[in-house]
């Protein structure tokens, strides 16, 4: 029988010493859930994520939400394409079980007072040019993870810094999810597929593959033994500068975990760039 004396603080023992992992395991549900967060206007890149989730999971959830918190005041939040009916068909065709397409009010019922800031990883590259962007991304992704509570969540390598930010957030905040990165899906001419590619007019679309060509040139220089970051950048910049429609935003070589610019290449590295063609901003990256 339970005796009061056993509760004395000096004798109190936890039932069992458990680790975070044990807690997770005890709460594990039978069904493996995969989440694919998107902003809609789905294309072959998104399809690759959904198909990967379908392979790994019993229940596949796709979220479609154009998140106002991750757009700057002069960015394309209002003109961002929202072809919901078509998106639903694409989700169904690729085997999604559930599409979560909430309203802004559902995701932000109150003026938001709580935010997720993944410092350092958000500092350079896109983070330097889109203040508040990754805070918006990390905050909405944590909300989605809390709503769906997936075992795995899928993100594209095309948005390399976003993937690094989400990975670090999940690690730092001990979010019970495995973050899976999926390789970039490209058009035949190398252009990374993006919902924003539809903003390009025919001349701009023709110029756009220069971004991937420039990054590939950098990768080729590394393969042939070049380790000097300045020389590797030079080759890529020469190709970008050769295309008059391109305005360069950044071109950086960074470490793949914390996204810090490197001065020399001695281990794993990625080269990433953002350019403007007309009013359209394009990003891409490749492994070095």
Query: Smallest gap, in angstroms, from Cβ of residue 95 to ligand AMP?
Result: 16
- SS3 label, residue 204: helix
Structure tokens at 32: 């493996």
Phi and psi at 213, nearest 5°, equal -60, -40
- Chain contacts with ligand AMP (rule: CB under 6 A): 38-39, 45-46, 48-49, 155-156, 158-159, 182, 184-185, 192-195
Query: Smallest gap, in angstroms, from Cβ of residue 41 to ligand AMP?
Result: 7
CA gap 62, 41 in Å, rounded: 12
Query: Smallest gap, in angstroms, from Cβ of residue 163 to ligand AMP?
Result: 7
β-pair partners for 139: none
Nearer to ligand AMP, 49 or 218 (CB): 49
Nearer to ligand AMP, 160 or 229 (CB): 160
Query: Would you give the DSSP letter of residue 159?
Result: G
Nearer to ligand AMP, 46 or 124 (CB): 46
- SS3 label, residue 104: helix
Nearer to ligand AMP, 185 or 229 (CB): 185
β-pair partners for 275: 248, 282
The residue from 43, 46, 124, 212 that is catalytic is 46
Structure tokens at 240: 């970008």
Query: Smallest gap, in angstroms, from Cβ of residue 111 to ligand AMP?
Result: 24
Nearer to ligand AMP, 182 or 273 (CB): 182
**Residue 46 a catalytic site member:** yes
What is each CA distance from 29 to 32, 73, 179, in whole angstroms? 7, 41, 18
- Burial of 230 from C-beta contacts in 10 A (0-12 / 13-18 / 19+): exposed
- Reported as half-sphere exposure (CB side, CA atoms, 13 A), residue 260 has a value of 8
Query: Smallest gap, in angstroms, from Cβ of residue 9 to ligand AMP?
Result: 49
| Helix or strand (DSSP H, E) at 273 | strand 270-277
Active centre residues (catalytic):
46
């Amino acid at each position: 029988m339970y005796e009061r004396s056993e509760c004395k603080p000096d004798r109190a023992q936890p039932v069992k010493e458990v680790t975070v992992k044990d807690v997770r395991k005890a709460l594990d549900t039978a069904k493996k859930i995969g989440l694919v967060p998107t902003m809609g206007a789905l294309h072959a890149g998104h399809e690759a994520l959904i198909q990967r989730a379908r392979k790994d999971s019993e229940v596949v959830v796709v979220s479609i939400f154009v998140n106002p918190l991750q757009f700057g005041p002069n960015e394309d939040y209002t003109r961002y394409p929202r072809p919901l009916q078509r998106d639903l068909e694409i989700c169904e065709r690729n085997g999604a079980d559930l599409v979560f397409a909430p309203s802004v009010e559902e995701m932000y019922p109150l003026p938001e007072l709580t935010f997720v800031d993944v410092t350092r990883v958000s500092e350079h590259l896109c983070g330097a040019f889109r203040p508040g962007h990754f805070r918006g991304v990390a905050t909405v992704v944590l909300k989605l993870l809390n709503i769906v509570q997936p075992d795995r969540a899928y993100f594209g390598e095309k948005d390399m810094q976003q993937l690094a930010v989400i990975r670090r957030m999940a690690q730092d905040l001990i979010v019970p999810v495995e973050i899976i990165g999926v390789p970039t899906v490209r058009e035949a001419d190398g252009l990374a597929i993006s919902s924003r590619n539809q903003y390009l007019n025919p001349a701009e679309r023709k110029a756009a593959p220069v971004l991937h060509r420039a990054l590939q040139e950098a990768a080729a220089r590394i393969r042939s033994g070049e380790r000097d970051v300045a020389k590797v950048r030079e080759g890529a910049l020469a190709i970008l500068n050769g295309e008059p429609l391109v305005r360069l935003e950044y071109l950086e070589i960074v470490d793949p975990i914390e996204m810090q610019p490197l001065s020399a290449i001695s281990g794993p590295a990625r080269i990433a760039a953002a350019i403007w063609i007309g009013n359209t901003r394009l990003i891409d990256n490749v492994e070095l």
